[in-house]
Structure 1
Amino acid sequence: MKSIWEKYKTEGAYDELMHSEFQPRRVSHGLCQYLNSLNKNDIDKRKIAAELAIMEMGISFTIYSDEGNIDRAWPFDIIPRIIDAREWRVIEKGLKQRLTALNCFINDVYGEQAFIKEGKIPGEIINSSKNFRKECVGMKPRHNAWANICGTDLVRDVDGVMYVLEDNLRVPSGVSYMLENRVITKRVFPELLQDTDILPIDDYPTQLHDMLSSIAYNQNHNPHVVVLTPGIYNSAYFEHAYLAQQMGAQLVEGSDLIVNDDDRVYMRTIEGLEQVDVIYRRIDDDFLDPEVFRKDSALGVRGLMRAWKAGNVALANAPGAGVADDKVVYAYVPEMIRYYLNEEPIIPNVPTYLCSNEDHLAYVLEHIAELVIKPANESGGYGMLVGPHALAKEIAAFRKVIQANPRNYIAQPTLAISTSPTLCKGRLEPRHIDLRPFILQGANTFVTAGGLTRVALKKGSLVVNSSQGGGSKDTWIINMENA
């Protein structure tokens, strides 16, 4: 019988499961041994079982294209990604540290601006950020937590060190896929999960609801929490509906809510108006309130900002939190940790060049073919250039784009991000991956046990976003202390 590991090569990047050829890491030894005991027919059956489960559960995402919106089944690889719980405890501590500092920074930006006044960050970076909302100056959300839900993207370099690639603080998505990946894996490998000490993740909806309840301004009753969605045509609508259902909260659109003359938010029901205390909004700032932001928005709620500023409704994430989502601001997070917490960063940033800095710009333009260039406020892998994989004409065009608006671009070295065995046409091949854990902050701080591992399904690709042809894996945090 041919081994599923036949021809598997780990060269050129840190592999999450294999230490070297045919040598699994200690934490993944059980999984590798189990997979090696399966024949191709066994693997094919499990792959088909996963695909049927995805169709049965209706797990999908939407791709926007010139031809229209396309709903696709969620691309899932059945081979999990594994991390030792001892390493994870350090990562978890680092993620809590990072979000705490980011919330201190956002609170400061809309308050005293001490970080700016003391020269820790140029004021122009904040003033020119499209996510800085002057309407939020002077606001104080409960617990000073502006970014209540954060999805931080982590990558591991060839040296085995985990780095923060970026922070997603506006409307981070993907947690529902993390949860559903585990459900699918339980169907595919029930016997393996039963025999492995994997940290659970199914408490996330409860943790999310508890966090949302903790930020309500009125704590004299059980807060009424709703999830505000742009509607069924949004690419993350599956997640909006899923999380609302799992929390036992109503899923609403802007037209379901109204702000009355008392500056309170109410939900329309067949029995009349019901006051809403907390809104988990999955709508960008620009569309949140046509009274304040985009006048043509039909997705938000007129008067919502008035209600929020009056302390009558809590919004998660708070408007204006995206000022710290800017990839230029990302470069200053290590200094934020030192400044606000008097600590050294536990998880390092990827080295970053700011094109708004003349010296950095000169270096970037000279070495652009070696670097990854990212716009400050795009997401989903759009608008970026991966220099080593780009054509000469693409590089030339991007040079002009950067020079026309240097504030809008950063550059980072092209990391040899880690790989994980991925099922490709019946055999295992290494594919590059990242990891998006989810951090909640309200009265307390909570980190998921692992997160959404995204995988670049195209051979050699570093782009893991589902909109760019990526998929995902279940992430196992394994407790080895009793192994």
Structure 2
Amino acid sequence: MKWNTYDPAPFFDEVLEDIDKPRPVAANLLKYIKSLSNEELQIRKEASQLCIEGMGVSFTVYSEGNNIDRDWPFDIIPRPISADEWEQVDKGLKQRLKALNLFINDVYNDQKIIKDGVVPGHLIDGSSNYLEACKGITPPHGVWANISGTDLVRDGEGTFRVLEDNLRVPSGVSYMIENRGVTKRTFPELFDEQSIMPVSDYPIKLYEMLASLSPRNVDAPLIAVLTPGIYNSAYFEHSFLAQEMGAQLVEGADLFVDEDDCVYMHTVNGKRMVDVIYRRVDDTFLDPEVFNKDSMLGVPGIMRSWKQGKVAIANAPGSGVADDKAVYAYVPDMIKYYLDEEAILPNVKTYLCHIEEDLQYTLDNIEELVVKPVNESGGYGILIGPRATKEEHEEFRKLIKANPRNYVSQPTLSLSTAPVVTDAGISPRHLDLRPFILQGKDCWVTKGGLTRVAMTEGSLVVNSSQGGGSKDTWIVET
């Protein structure tokens, strides 16, 4: 009952080459899973949920004005990828983030890439993420986006493609780490049979990267994780990372800028100077003196301190100028321009609605395309053409015509699938992958990432806020 009805066709499947043949990297995993009855699988599934509840792994869904905490949705069957294949992905991710950081620094300084006609200037002029307050700044090591979460998908041929770059406040890495912990408790015997690369070293690597940004040459710089507070959807992650790094978890009211323009933290023993801030607060809420004057989440004067090099902020304010789905289409050109290399990881074909030809194509073929606003995240504001109604198609046509710069479109992807455990047995579900890249003095990529799964049959929406779940990602040495 479990596998004789499992048929992922016509999609690329992460575990099966065809209906009776496992991929080499998944052979041990599949053999073991097949040895378990449906009843045993359901018992393991229930045990994993109890484990998640006991560990307090949760996320917040915003619904009709209410904040609802939910246990992290998790599927117990891991997603295996070979270490040989991952080596190329690792190189491609480092190449991409290096070029993106060169682009951001260029945009806020000389704008050579615009003057040379590689990227049109109106993309920057029309970007809500371009911050005038950041002009003329070069952060430590020339790096703006220190932490990136790059969303990858496999196409129908099994090729990894970049779906989008997340350079502002990318989230999800704590769930990647917790997924591994739950899987080890659910299938401990599988880790004895093969070499699976670790993910638990991320907090150490994050600490080392953040410490490399410190303006003071001290052995133990004070690092603070700036959170919007307990009602933020990613608060679990903020507290998790602060604890794992041994950093301070703070809110805006815990910090202040003194007359010397340094950032300090209130403590029971008096003020302590802060060297590095890992901020999980959006740009425009960071400093009420510069951006949103009503913000209670940020720190008055923090931008002044950052500009003078007296505190480091990761990711740097203004990084979001490259976190734009229209700018995304030009990343292969950036790689060629700045690095004189071809992109190792290809983009998904993207139509830019500010270009007349692409606009007309999008309007004429909207029933077959995925349409995205350029600055939204979390799966919000997206139209999936083949699954939308005629009324929704027409509504989006009007939105696109009213503001073409704000929209891009892409072909509806044949996302790869992997098996998940359902109440009825084993069933294929679509998924993506978010690896995390750290760049400070050095650059480092997680061994795998957060695999997000569309838990609804046939759905292409993997975001947890939209009903998606996740599974452990294995980079397997063979």
**TM exceeds 0.5?**
yes
Distance 2:390 2:19 in 1: 36
Offset from partner CA, 1:371-397 (integer Å, 9 cap, x none): 000000000000000001111110011
Instruction: Tell me by how many angstroms 1:47 deviates.
Output: 0.6
Instruction: Tell me by how many angstroms 1:222 deviates.
Output: 2.1
Contact 1:44 1:426 in 2 (8 A): no
Contact 2:82 2:475 in 1 (8 A): yes
The equivalent residue for 2:88 is 90
The equivalent residue for 2:459 is 461
Distance 1:300 1:324 in 2: 22
Contact 1:375 1:408 in 2 (8 A): yes
The equivalent residue for 1:112 is 110
Distance 2:400 2:192 in 1: 52
SS of residue paired to 2:326 = helix
> Match of 2:477, as an amino acid?
N
Instruction: Tell me by how many angstroms 1:45 deviates.
Output: 1.5
Offset from partner CA, 1:86-116 (integer Å, 9 cap, x none): 0000000000000000000000001110000
The equivalent residue for 1:172 is 170
1:53 lines up with 2:51 in the alignment: yes
Instruction: Tell me by how many angstroms 1:10 deviates.
Output: 1.9
> Match of 2:444, as an amino acid?
F
> Match of 2:409, as an amino acid?
A
Matches within 5 A, 1:163-312: 163-312=161-310
Matches within 5 A, 1:345-364: 345-364=343-362
Offset from partner CA, 1:194-237 (integer Å, 9 cap, x none): 21210111100000000000011222442110100000000000
Q: Which one of the candidate residues 425, 445, 459 is aligned to 2:443?
A: 445
Distance 1:203 1:255 in 2: 31
The equivalent residue for 1:417 is 415
> Match of 1:159, as an amino acid?
E
1:80 lines up with 2:81 in the alignment: no
Distance 1:222 1:309 in 2: 22
Instruction: Tell me by how many angstroms 1:67 deviates.
Output: 4.8
The equivalent residue for 1:335 is 333
Distance 2:466 2:235 in 1: 18
> Match of 2:96, as an amino acid?
R
1:386 lines up with 2:388 in the alignment: no
> Match of 2:10, as an amino acid?
G
Distance 1:342 1:245 in 2: 41
SS of residue paired to 2:211 = helix
The equivalent residue for 1:155 is 153
Structure 2 residue runs without a partner (length 5+): none
Offset from partner CA, 1:119-166 (integer Å, 9 cap, x none): 001111101100000110111101001000000000001111110000
Instruction: Tell me by how many angstroms 1:424 deviates.
Output: 1.2
> Match of 2:439, as an amino acid?
Q
Offset from partner CA, 1:37-87 (integer Å, 9 cap, x none): 111221122111100010000000001011511100000000010101000
TM-score (norm 1): 0.98
SS of residue paired to 1:359 = helix
SS of residue paired to 1:372 = strand
The equivalent residue for 2:119 is 121
Contact 1:88 1:477 in 2 (8 A): yes
SS of residue paired to 2:189 = helix
SS of residue paired to 1:464 = coil
Instruction: Tell me by how many angstroms 1:426 deviates.
Output: 4.2
SS of residue paired to 1:55 = helix
- Quote the sequence identity (%): 61
Distance 1:158 1:42 in 2: 32
Instruction: Tell me by how many angstroms 1:12 deviates.
Output: 1.5
Output the aligned Cα RMSD: 0.7
Offset from partner CA, 1:402-438 (integer Å, 9 cap, x none): 0000000000001101000011114111100000000
Contact 1:156 1:418 in 2 (8 A): yes
Distance 1:363 1:147 in 2: 33
Distance 2:144 2:179 in 1: 29
Contact 1:60 1:238 in 2 (8 A): yes
SS of residue paired to 1:27 = helix
SS of residue paired to 1:327 = coil
The equivalent residue for 2:431 is 433
The equivalent residue for 1:144 is 142
Offset from partner CA, 1:342-391 (integer Å, 9 cap, x none): 10000000010000001110110000100000000000000000001111
> Match of 2:140, as an amino acid?
R
Q: Which one of the candidate residues 24, 27, 42 is aligned to 2:25?
A: 27
Bigger mean CA offset, 95-104 vs 34-43: 34-43
SS of residue paired to 1:217 = coil
Distance 1:66 1:97 in 2: 41
Distance 1:426 1:239 in 2: 32
Contact 1:91 1:347 in 2 (8 A): yes
> Match of 1:120, as an amino acid?
V
> Match of 2:400, as an amino acid?
I
Q: Which one of the candidate residues 64, 70, 73 is aligned to 2:62?
A: 64
Matches within 5 A, 1:9-28: 9-28=7-26
Distance 2:474 2:349 in 1: 28
Distance 1:240 1:149 in 2: 14
- Aligned residue pairs total 478
TM-score (norm 2): 0.99
